[in-house]
Amino acid sequence: MKRYFDRAALGIAAAAFLGAIACYFSFAGHRRTSVAYGEPSSVAGTARYSPQDISSGHSETAVWGDPPAQSWDSRAIFEIFTPPIIFYNPRNGEFTLESPLSLRGSDRGFGIELVDLRRELYRLQYEGYAGDEGDYLVLLRNEVTGAGSRGRVGDRIEVEGYSIVSFEVHRQMVERNGGTPVMEETVILVIFDERARAEIALGPEPRYNPVVEAVFRVQDASLGNISLGAGTSFESDRGRFTVLEIDFPAQSVTVEKIVSGSEVRETLRLFPAKHQDADIQSVPNPREEPPEVDPSDSFTFPF
């Protein structure tokens, strides 16, 4: 009986082994056929694969228009990828196509040259204070004579021609650059100037007169240097000169000249000669050949 079962188990195992071999060769043959004839597997269906030609696509040639002129100067026409040669004037904050070197000395034939701009200190300057809140004693200095004076709110200092209208001291903690907060003091002094008949605010910073004078070097031996304010005029052999505007922050003066013996008018914006030399010393001249470039200073862009 035991032999019978052993033979039966052996027969079943042999049949299973032969069945597994038959299934393997059947699947492998089907796969080779699908690859050879481009047939998809049974999972995707039985439809045959039809190869299609790949379209070559369509290309067009772009047409580039002529570069337009810039709004700030009709002569400024820049091609793409071409670095423009322009200059920046730090004195008036404007761009120009002309090098400051080429403009240097253009005012020589104008008849006058701007030497300097002067703004005198106000005759009274704040010096400090003493005392406590509600009883401050304010100290002032006469810039002309060097004499000092002092007084409290409401006092009139007759010899200096002023009275103290108000005096305030404000203190607050201020943190600078992320450091430890420090006490910051702000002082505001208001006086009434009897000579100017106006209230003047003073503080630790110097106080200047509102009037600015321009000092010109006149190309006329008989006149030499001359100081003028805005709106004033003078005459020389070259014509009549009028100061139209003085721009102290920009350190410039606009002057109009009426040429002698005619009605020809010329207007020129002048800058102090000392500032011209400092501003143009490192500016290249566009009329000269560009300087050689050190390869170590150039950039290489990998494309």
Q: Is 170 within the bounds of a domain?
A: yes
The confidence score (pLDDT) of residue 301 equals 38
What gap in Å lies between CA 72 and CA 250, rounded to an integer?
20
112 lies in the same domain as 232: yes
If asked whether residues 161 and 193 sit together in one domain, one would say yes
Q: Please give the pLDDT value at position 24.
A: 63
pLDDT value, residue 1? 54
Q: Are residues 165 and 235 in the same domain?
A: no
Give the burial string for 38-48 (b: 16+ CB within 10 Å, else e).
ebeeeeeeeee
Q: Is residue 193 part of a domain?
A: yes
Q: What is the length of the chain?
A: 303
Co-location of 231 and 111 in the same domain: yes
Does residue 296 lie in a domain region? Answer: no
Domain that holds residue 81: 66-104
Cβ atoms 191, 150 nearer than 8 A: no
So what's the pLDDT on residue 113?
Answer: 87
Q: What is d(CA 91, CA 293) in angstroms, rounded to the nearest whole number?
A: 28
pLDDT digits (tens), the chain, 303 positions: 555 556 666 667 777 767 676 666 665 555 554 444 444 454 555 667 778 777 777 778 888 777 777 666 666 666 555 556 677 665 556 676 665 544 444 455 788 888 889 888 999 999 999 998 889 999 999 999 999 999 999 999 999 999 999 999 998 888 877 778 888 889 999 999 999 899 999 999 999 988 899 998 887 766 778 888 899 998 888 889 999 999 888 888 999 999 888 888 888 888 886 644 433 333 333 444 444 444 443 334 343
What confidence score (pLDDT) does residue 279 get?
A: 39
Examine residue 136 and state whether it is found in any structural domain, yes or no.
Answer: yes
Output the pLDDT for position 245: 92
Check: CB of residue 209 under 8 Å from CB of residue 122.
yes
Asked if residues 149 and 140 have their Cβ atoms less than 8 Å apart, the reply is yes
**pLDDT at site 47:** 65
Put simply, whether the predicted model's pTM sits higher than 0.85 gets the answer no
Local structure of 262: helix, strand or coil: coil
Q: Same domain, yes or no, for 196 and 71?
A: no
- Phi/psi at 219 (5° precision): -80, 55
Of 74, 104, 134, the last residue of a domain is 104
Q: Indicate whether 263 and 236 sit together in one domain.
A: yes
Clarify whether residues 75 and 221 are in a common domain.
no
Among candidate residues 76, 104, 132, the one where a domain is terminated: 104
Instruction: Tell whether 138 and 151 lie within a shared domain.
Output: yes
The answer to whether residue 230 sits within a structural domain is yes
Q: Supply 77's token pair.
A: 């026409």
> What's the pLDDT at 286?
40
Instruction: Tell whether 222 is covered by a domain.
Output: yes
Same domain (yes/no): 268, 234 = yes
Distance, first Cα to last Cα, the chain: 86
3-state secondary structure of 161: coil
Is residue 129 domain-shared with residue 196, that is, in the same domain?
Answer: yes
Contacts of 189 (CB under 8 A, 6+ apart): 126, 138, 164, 166, 167, 201, 202, 203
| 88 and 110, same domain (yes or no) | no
- Reduce the DSSP state of residue 278 to 3 states and report it: helix
* Identity at 228, one-letter amino acid code: L
Domain count within the chain? 3
Residue 173 lies inside a defined structural domain of this protein:
yes
Per-residue model confidence (pLDDT) at position 291: 45
Residues 128, 164 within the same domain: yes
